[in-house]
Amino acid sequence: DIQMTQAPYSLSASVGDRVTINCRASQGIRNDLDWYQQKPGKAPKRLIYVASSLQSGVPARFSGSGSGTEFSLTISSLQPEDFATYYCLQHNSYPRTFGQGTKVEIK
Amino acid sequence: EVQLLESGGGLVQPGGSLRLSCAASGFTFSSYAMSWVRQAPGKGLEWVSDISGSGDSTFYADSVKGRFTISRDNSKNTLYLQMNSLRAEDTAVYYCAEAVGYSYGVHWGQGTLVTVSS
């Protein structure tokens, strides 16, 4: 099975900050990686698919990059509504695996 | 508008069974692979199972293989998850979703809570 390791586990940031979350796959997964945002009590929302494609309707301050084993999600200027937990998901092979999540909190 | 509405969650004793349903609307259900994803209280997301649009292909997480069965009735636009031999560690909110990892895999239901406890 492919293991997905996300870092950091949590971070504190201020509105306007640039934030980067990283995800490492235990083996190469090409660009078969998506990023999700989840707010408390809500279903996850897909932000980025195939590593770098922005989901329709998602603000352009979100971007994704990477391929192979190293991936990142960047929020260029953190907004109040961005405080949430973020997950990566590999869909290169079964079983699908999520990263452990990164909680973005207000500093 | 795409809608996915889960039902069937509740309290069940260890070793018991439960069947979750997910009623789909707003899209051509039979053309879409579907997923179940769960989230234990205070924990992260865990992919559980996928099924192809026709229902011919199914995939499971090791943690549920042999105990859970995913199925679908395309005539009723409904996805199912039959859960047997339930354990405390199966306690979670269960989400149905358009197959995660697919290009169209955007929509999720609101989730249904399954609690396994005596």
- Condensed to tens digits (0 to 9), the pLDDT of residues B26-41 reads 999 999 999 999 999 9
Provide Rg for chain B, Cα atoms: 13
Predicted local distance difference test score (pLDDT) of residue A66: 98
Nearest by CB to B44, from A91, A94, A98: name it. A98
Interface of chain A toward chain B, CB-CB under 8 angstroms? 1, 32, 34, 36, 38, 43-46, 49-50, 55, 87, 89-91, 94-101
Predicted local distance difference test score (pLDDT) of residue B77: 98
Q: How confident is the model at residue B105 (pLDDT cuts 50, 70, 90)?
A: confident
User: Once rounded to an integer, what is the mean pLDDT over residues B108-113?
Assistant: 98
Q: Name the E strands within B40-77.
A: 45-51, 58-60, 68-73
Chain A contact set for B46 (CB, 8 A): 98
- Summarised one tens digit per residue, pLDDT across range B56-85 is 999 999 999 999 999 999 999 999 999 999
C-alpha dihedral over B39, B108, B16, B89, to 10 degrees? Answer: -10
Q: How confident is the model at residue B103 (pLDDT cuts 50, 70, 90)?
A: confident
Q: Which residues contact A42 (CB under 8 A, 6 or more apart)?
A: none
User: Once rounded to an integer, what is the mean pLDDT over residues B87-116?
Assistant: 95
Spell out, as residue ranges, where chain A has pLDDT lower than 50.
none
Q: Determine how many CB atoms are found less than 10 A away from the CB of residue A56.
A: 7
